[in-house]
Chain A
Amino acid sequence: MGNNQDSSIIYLRGLHKCYWVGTMPFPALHGLDLDIAPGEFAVVAGRSGSGKSTLLNIVGALESADSGRVEVLGQDILGMNSEQRTRFRLHNIGFVFQAYNLIRVFTARENVAYVCQLQGKSRKESMEIANHWLHEVEIGHLGYRRPDQLSGGQQQRVAVARALASNPKLILADEPTANLDSMTGRHLIRLMHELNHRFGTTFLISSHDPDVKQAAGRLIKLADGQIVESWEEVPEPPQSLSASCPANHLPLGERVRNYIKTRKQSRARKRRGGNQRRS
C-alpha cells in the first residue's frame, strides 16, 4: 500500500468498467482516478449514464471493475470473493438507495436494527442502537411503523439511520433525494451533512440534484466515465429558485431577488475555487 492510500478512505486508480449488451459495449468508467479522504462529504455529479452509480457500486463492493485498482479503507476490493465482500460491506459501508429499499415486513426500528443483528449484536442491543439512530434522524417516534406507513422522506431517514447503525466508516448514497420533493430532499441532505460533521463518517453521494451539489464539501463531476471537474468547496447557498425558498411565505419578488443574490455569491465562490486549483 502506497502513501496515497494511507491517507485515503477511497483510493481508485485507472478504473475501467464496460457493460455489454449483446455484442455492443457500453463504457461506464474510463480510467478513473479518485482519492477520498476520511470525513469528506463528497458528491459525485453528472448526467445520467455518466458512471456515477457504477462508481458507487464498485466502491461499495457491489460490482467488479474490469481493470484498475480499488482500495477502500485500505482493502483491495477487487481481490475479494463474494462472501468477503458481503462481510466487508456489513462492517464498513452503509448504503442509502434512491428508492429507500426498506424491508417491507419490518418496522422502521427493525429495519435499522437488522444490520446490527447481522453483525451479531443481541436483539436488545440492536434495538437500542436503532432507537438512537432513529432519534438522530429525527423520527424516533415513528420506530413502530412499517415502511408503507411512512412518507418517502421518513423512509429515506430510516434508510440513513440503517446505513449509520452498523457504525460504518463510509456511507454511499446513490441519488438519495431523487424520489423526494425538493424541500424534503434538502432536509435530508442537511441531516446527512450534519451527521457527517458530528460523527466524521465519510459520505460519497451520487446526485444531480443542485441542492445536494450545493451541500457538498467536495464536488466530483463525471462525464463519460471520467472525472471532468473536482472542487474541494462549492457555494453553500442554493442554486435553484425552488430550492432557494426555505421561507415560501416571502413575496415572489423578494424570493427572486434572494435567488439572484445567492446565484451571484455562488458564482463568485466558484470562481475563487477554480483560481485556487489553478494556482
Chain B
Amino acid sequence: MNQSTSTVINTILTVALRNLLAHRRRTFLTIGAIAVGLASLIFLWGFNEGLHRNMLGNFQDAIIGSIQIHHQGFFQHPELSKAIANPQKVVEALRQADVSRYSMRLESFGLAASDITTQGVMLIGMDPLREGEVTQLGKRIGIGRFLAPEDEYTLILGATTANNLQVKLGDEVIIIGYDRFGAMLAESFTLIGIITSGEMGLDKGMAITTLATLQEMVDMTDRITTVVISSEEKRVPSLTAELEAALQGDELEVMPWYSMFPVMKEWVTLHNGFLYLFLGVVLFIVLAGELNTMLISMLERTREFGVLMAIGTTGYQIAGILLVEAVVIGIVGILSGILLGYVIVLFSSNYGIDLSILLGSTSRFYVDPLIYPHLKLDHLGITSGVILIASIFAGLYPAWRASMLQPVEAIRNG
C-alpha cells in the first residue's frame, strides 16, 4: 500500500470514527444491544455446555465410562462365550496409549431371586479398587456400602430391584445364571448395598458383585468380558481410534460412549440445535438493530455525503465510511459482549446455578441440580464471528445506498 492510499484510508477511518463519536448515544445504544445479545448468548452456551458436561459426565461416571472394549459383538449380544481372549494385550495397548484409568469387568445376564419373587438382572463383576478410578458408582450407594476387595458373594442391587424383590440389607439374594457353556448355576449372595441414584438404568435391573466372585461363580478365573476406560471428553474420539489401531485383528470392539448410547449424543446435538436457533433470533435482532442505526445515520447524512462526493470523495469511499462505522460498532459490541458474557459465566461457574427449585428430580436425566456453566472457545468464536458478519451485513445495504447517491440530489434533498 503506498502512502497516498494509506492517507486516504486514514481519512475515511477518521470520518467514520468521528461520526460515531459525534452520535455517542446512538452508537453506544447499538453497541450495548450487541453486547447484551452476545453476552446472553455466551451465557446460554456456557450454561448449555455446563449442563451437557454435567449430564454426560454423570452418565459416563455412573457405570459405562468413556470407552469400553469388548469381544466383537458382545455389546449387542452379551454372552460369556464372548470373553476377551487376551486381556494382557488390551492392558498393554492402554499403557501405550497412556491410559491409567481403566477397570476390568465380567458381565452376564441372570436372575435375582428372593423369597417372594425373581427379577431379571445384568450381572456385573467389577474390581472394587479400580472401579473407583473409572466410575462414581460407589457414590450412588444410598443404603449400605460399596464392594470391598475382600468381599465374597456380596451383592449390590438397584433400589427398584431391591424393592421389587422386597429385600433389605443383609438379606440373602439367590443369583441364577449360566456359565460360558450354557449350564445353569446358582449362588447365594448377601445384599450389602442399594443404589438410590434416581437414574432408571442404575436403579433397575442391575446386580453387582466383585469380579473375583463372579469369575469363580461362572468358572472363568482371570477372564473378563469388558474393559471400561475413563477419558477426558475431548480425547475420546482420538483415543478410540488409537486403541482400535492398536487392537486391530484381535476381534475386539472399541466403543466410545456415544456409539453405545447414541441417543445421549443425539440429545446433546438437538439441544445445541435449539441454541443455534436462539443464535439465529439474536442475530436477527442484532442485524435489524444495527441496520436501523446505520440507515438512520445514512439518511441523516445524505446531504453531507452529497457534499463529500461533490468535493471529490468516491462512491466506494462513502461506502467505506459506512462499512467502517458498522464494523467498528460490531467489533466494540462483540468485545464488550465477550467481556460481559465472560464475567457472567465466570461468576456463575464459581457459584453454580441451582435448578432444584425449578426441577423436581433432575437425577433421572443424569443431571445434578447445581449446574456450573463452562465456556468453550469454539462456541465463543462461532458466536462472535457470526455477529461480526451480521454487523458487516448491516452496513452493506446503507453503504450501497450511500455509494449510489447523486451529489446534486443528495445536497438538494438531504
Contact = CB atoms under 8 A, between A and B. Distances in A.
A93 to B, nearest CB: 9
A120 B314 contact: no
B312 interface: yes
A62 B408 contact: yes
Interface stretch (B15-23, B127-135, B358-366): B15-23
Interface in B1-32: 3-5, 7-8, 10-11, 14-15, 18-19, 21-22
Interface stretch (A98-106, A128-136, A265-273): A98-106
Contacts of B313: 86, 118
Contact of B7 (A87, A110, A123): A123
Interface stretch (B55-63, B216-224, B302-310, B387-395): B302-310
Given A89-B310, A89-B311, A117 B11 contact: yes
B411 interface: yes
B408 A106 contact: no
A104 B407 contact: no
Interface SS of B by simple majority = helix
B312 A89 contact: yes
Q: How large is the interface on A (under 10, 10 to 19, 20 to 34, 35 or more residues)?
A: 20 to 34
A133 B191 CA distance: 101
B125 interface: no
B369 interface: no
A121 B18 contact: no
A58 B328 CA distance: 37
Interface in A77-103: 82-83, 86-87, 89-91, 94-95, 97, 101, 103
Given A62-B408, A106-B18, A121-B7, A101 B303 contact: yes
B408 A57 contact: yes
A95 B8 CA distance: 20
Contacts of A114: 11, 311
Contacts of B307: 97, 101, 103
B315 interface: yes
Contacts of A106: 15, 18
A117 B312 contact: no
Of the candidates A57, A90, A101, the one having the most CB atoms from chain B within 10 angstroms of its own CB is A101
Contact of A82 (B3, B22, B315): B315
Question: Nearest 6 A-B pairs (CB), nearest first?
Answer: A120-B4, A90-B312, A105-B18, A101-B307, A117-B11, A105-B22
